[in-house]
Amino acid sequence: MDGKAIVQSVIKEIVEPGVERLMDTRYFSELRAGKLSVRRLQGWSIPHYLHNKAILKAFALGMVKNVHDPDLFGYFTSQFNEEQSHPDLAKRFGLALGLKEEDFSDATQIFECQIHSARTIYNTLMGIPPQNRASALTSESMVCRYSEEFLNSMRKHYGMDDRALTFFTVHMVADKEHTAQSAEIIARYIKTPRDERLVRESAQYMVRIKLGKFDGLYQCYT
């Protein structure tokens, strides 16, 4: 099978339309206009802090699961090392918006954010490598794009400084590299029609999960 062609098809048919749909949601439409409430901005920070904590655990488990495969073990090790600072960067954004440390220590995720974290961990533990990375490719493509939206809008409408926005400046760059790495792994490991089906399914599910996540954030943090 032509793995590279399959990856490009997934990007064009699923990932890119998913990114466009995310940018058209109420959350990002209001963010661009400077009308998104501070509470809804805070609502991104808390669940994402918790999600990034979960990602670190998933990467650690991914290292253990793939210890026999030098390529995948190296990949998950690299990702774990790169992601270690990200929970604190998400927290920094929330603190700049008026949250306190106890808001993070006492927090739990809303349902839609729990689904996002659960799917990420499921794919790491239960999914085959191309299925796992298809989810990451989709999610990180969305994060890369919405980081640009946060960065521009928070500077323009909310007067936030660069230090508070470090999470987004990092992810505008890092997730471009991460999506390229995921695309390469998918292309190399996809071998059968079933693999292709799982890759497409994983990408489709992540689009739905991300859209649901931001709809949940909008509705919960009023």
The confidence score (pLDDT) of residue 154 equals 97
The whole-angstrom separation of Cα 72 and Cα 77 is 8
Residue-wise pLDDT for 87-126, tens only, equals: 999 999 999 999 999 999 989 999 999 999 999 889 888 8
The whole-angstrom separation of Cα 112 and Cα 184 is 29
Instruction: Write down the CATH superfamily of domain 3-220.
Output: Heme oxygenase-like (1.20.910.10)
Residue-wise pLDDT for 16-72, tens only, equals: 999 999 999 999 999 999 999 999 999 999 999 999 999 999 999 889 989 999 988
Domain boundaries, the chain: 3-220
Structure tokens at 121: 């961990």
Q: Considering the entire predicted model, what is its pTM?
A: 0.91
